[in-house]
Amino acid sequence: MAQGCAATLTRRAFQTSDGVTLSLLEAGHEYSQSPNVKIALVTGWSMPASIWQNQLEQLGRQFHALALDPRGQGESQVPARGFNAERRATDLKEFLDPLSNVLLIGWSLGAIESLQYVHMFGASRLAGVVLVDSSVGEEPAPPPGGTFLQALRDDRDKTLDGFVRAIFKNSLGDAEVAALVNVAKRMPNENSIALLSYPFPRSHWKEIVHAIKKPLLYVVTPQFEEQAWNLQRNRPGTQIEIFKGAGHALFIDEAERFNELIMGFAQSLSHAN
């Protein structure tokens, strides 16, 4: 996709039904009344909506595109409660309620929470779903998480620094890493750990993703490649894309490829309506 002039980003907020103020970034608002799909982006664990800046700037040139700061993340309020799958899925519902014909894109934890949204509230507002580099319950199971949660308790700063550096194949500068670590630390440590401890078996996510009746695109790095092939086999019609040379934040490492992929998928959904 030719870069051209990037769409302008704006920020606004809304209040959830349990009284929490959530922030979001928006681009392409002039397309909000267009019959084309609206693109809603959901970030991963502890990361801000601004991590989608490139996607908002480029996709917002043709689509109404929005990215949510989940509770406790980015510029959203940091409440004392609500760090569980059901409340976070409800936050997604309330984020999406003003929209229709939505292409919902969830990355990492955001993909899991997008599935929980579909499980709890259905897919009537959705035109399609994109799940980005997250386990969907297919085989093989990811390796155990090891000592990450304990490391967060023992030395949060060091653990977050290592986490941020690890999700990018193309290394960020120290200042960029420090900025993302500082944003992540807005959330109390035990709440951030709760987000990594959802009490569901892997079969929960597999059943949800198999039941989705809308077009589905599964975009992964090699860690989930076997799951991708199995999902395509077990859920016919699933589109998959493997980013073999990218890190977990593949939409940053290979932004142009990712944006072209999403643009094509969004256009195909718009033409189908």
Give per-residue pLDDT as tens, 144-186.
877 999 999 999 999 999 999 999 998 789 999 999 999 999 9
The DSSP symbol for 64 reads -
* Secondary structure (DSSP) of 8-65: PPEEEEEE-TTS-EEEEEEE-GGGTTSSSPEEEEE--TT--GGGGHHHHHHHTTTS-E
User: Predicted confidence band at 3 (pLDDT cuts at 50, 70, 90)?
Assistant: low
pLDDT at 121: 98
C-alpha distance from residue 131 to each of 107, 148, 190, 221 (Å): 6, 23, 26, 12
Cis peptide before 140 (omega within 30 of 0): yes
Mean pLDDT over 101-120 rounds to 98
pLDDT at 2: 45
Q: What number of other Cβ atoms are within 10 A of residue 208's Cβ?
A: 20
Distance from C-alpha of 268 to C-alpha of 273, rounded to nearest angstrom: 9
Pick the CATH number of 10-143+200-272 from 3.40.50.1820, 3.90.550.10, 3.40.190.10, 3.40.50.970: 3.40.50.1820
Quickly tell me which residue has 């998480």 as its tokens.
145
Give me the sheet containing 21-27, strands edge to edge.
10-15, 21-27, 65-68, 38-42, 102-107, 126-132, 216-220, 239-242
C-alpha distance from residue 150 to each of 145, 193, 223, 224, 268 (Å): 10, 9, 23, 24, 44
The DSSP symbol for 142 reads P
pLDDT at 273: 65
Q: Would you state the structure tokens that stand for residue 63, as one six-digit string?
A: 């689509």
Q: Does pLDDT of 18 surpass 50? A: yes
Mean pLDDT over 62-69 rounds to 98
Query: pTM for the whole thing?
Result: 0.97
Q: In this structure, are residues 22 and 47 in contact, taking their beta carbons and an 8 Å threshold? A: no
pLDDT at 1: 44
* Degrees, nearest 5: CA angle 142-143-144: 115
* pLDDT averaged over every residue in the chain: 96
